[in-house]
Amino acid sequence: EKAGFDHFMLKEIYEQPKAYRDTMGARLDPSGTKVVLDEVKMSKEQIGAIRNVHIVACGTAYHAGLVGKSVIEKLARIPVEVDVASEYRYRSPIITPNTLVIVVSQSGETADTLAALREAKRNGARVVAITNVVGSSVAREADDVIVTWAGPEIAVASTKAYTSQLIAFYLFGLYLAQALETQDAAAVAEIVAHLKELPEKVERILEQAEAIKEWAEQVSTHDNLFFIGRGLDFAVAQEGSLKLKEISYIHSEAYAAGELKHGTLALIEEGIPVIALAIQDDLFEKTVSNIKEVKARGAHVFGLHTEGETELAKSVDQVFEIPHTLPLLSPALSVVPLQLLSYYASLARGNDVDKPRNLAKSVTVE
Ligand code: M6R
């Protein structure tokens, strides 16, 4: 059942190109230029009435929501807040009938996420669920359901569910943009064209797994490290850090690169690994200057950059190249090496990769 892989997690990492294709599937118009989301039953008027969006989820699904916020704000120009479900429920969120609440849950059974959904409905909001399980509690209670066709995810550490959630956000962001006409047809077509290229680009990253395995073996001898990045790179850094903690038990922290010097830089000492994401073109120079700050204090920097970019190598100790795509779509690529990093670090430490200590696949208690 592991199809020749040593662990479910590795199998699921390698299933991502298929999960992307299946999740996009029939939702891309045959003309290849727009998105068709028939499962979302909102009229143009209802979409036009949305004043704000709340994205609510836990763990990795929350991290997908961080990317979702950028996607919706950029494509549809609607303000978005993202909350961890266990916080959202108890903070008296301001929900009105013009609020669209998006809950994200692989299992569709997470107790706090389900409670947040109910709170949203009680306040008259429409709820869209992004879930991997057809017929789950979240799917049954939401007004609209966007299923991520990742297939069953067995490993406790979420991989293909996260990336399929990203794809769902891209599709939904485009769907809103089409209805609101916040993007012209050419812009939508360009994004769709790049979306279609993602699976093959993930395959290219997976072909370089051996290089990440070497990084992981170096990292696995440390007890502390940092992930840094800006913008969407920071969102992915947070997911990379969670994954590493969850299965390798190495403590790490994800930091917005520009925020380091407001305290965290004090923790940078000789030899500490820093995984730096410098994928976002428009923020590249800024991130490089933050990389130099940690290098100057002795950090060993592993840098992720876009292929064809030659500057980063001068400022870091090791580099890994991500195929080029639109900046907005880059999380669907840049997270893959981080998934592999945590997998191989866990393996190097002799941990039970698929069943990390203290954790359950589906958290149905508060
Ligand atoms: O099933 P859900 O997406 O609602 O689960 C949410 C989190 O419990 C889950 O993503 C958790 O953070 C993962 N184990 C992370 O890999």
First to last CA, the chain: 32
Which two structure tokens, joined as six digits, stand for 312?
């980063």
Distance between Cα 59 and ligand 1 center (Å): 5
Instruction: For ligand 1, pick from 9, 60, 62 the residue to mutate: most ligand atoms within 8 Å of CB.
Output: 60
- Give the 3-state secondary structure of residue 274: strand
Query: What is the Cβ-side half-sphere exposure of residue 61, based on CA atoms within 13 angstroms?
Result: 29
Beta bridge mates, 146? 130
Q: Whose CA is nearest to atom 4 of ligand 1?
A: 105
Q: In terms of Cα–Cα distance, which of 252, 251, 308, 256 is closest to 277?
A: 256
Please indicate whether residue 295 is annotated as part of the active site.
no
Distance from C-alpha of 227 to C-alpha of 96, rounded to nearest angstrom: 37
Instruction: Profile the chain (366 residues) by mean pLDDT over runs of 10 residues.
Output: 94 98 94 94 97 98 98 98 95 96 98 97 97 97 98 96 98 98 96 97 98 97 97 98 97 96 92 96 92 96 94 93 97 98 97 88 84
Handedness of CA 223, 228, 233, 235 (dihedral sign): positive
* Ligand 1 neighbours (beta carbon < 6 A): 58-61, 105-107, 110, 113, 156-158, 246, 362-363
11-22: per-residue pLDDT in tens?
999 999 999 999
From 8, 56, 58, give the residue whose CB has the most ligand 1 atoms within 8 Å, as the site to mutate. Answer: 58
Close Cβ partners of 197 (under 8 Å, ≥ 6 residues apart): 325
**pLDDT for the residue 206:** 98
The 8-class DSSP code of residue 265 comes to G
- pLDDT of the residue at 53: 98
What's the pLDDT score for residue 366?
81
Q: If you measure from the C-alpha of residue 105 to the centroid of ligand 1, how many angstroms do you get, rounded to a whole number?
A: 7
For residue 240, the CA-to-ligand 1 centroid distance in Å is 14
Query: How far is CA 254 from its chain centroid?
Result: 14
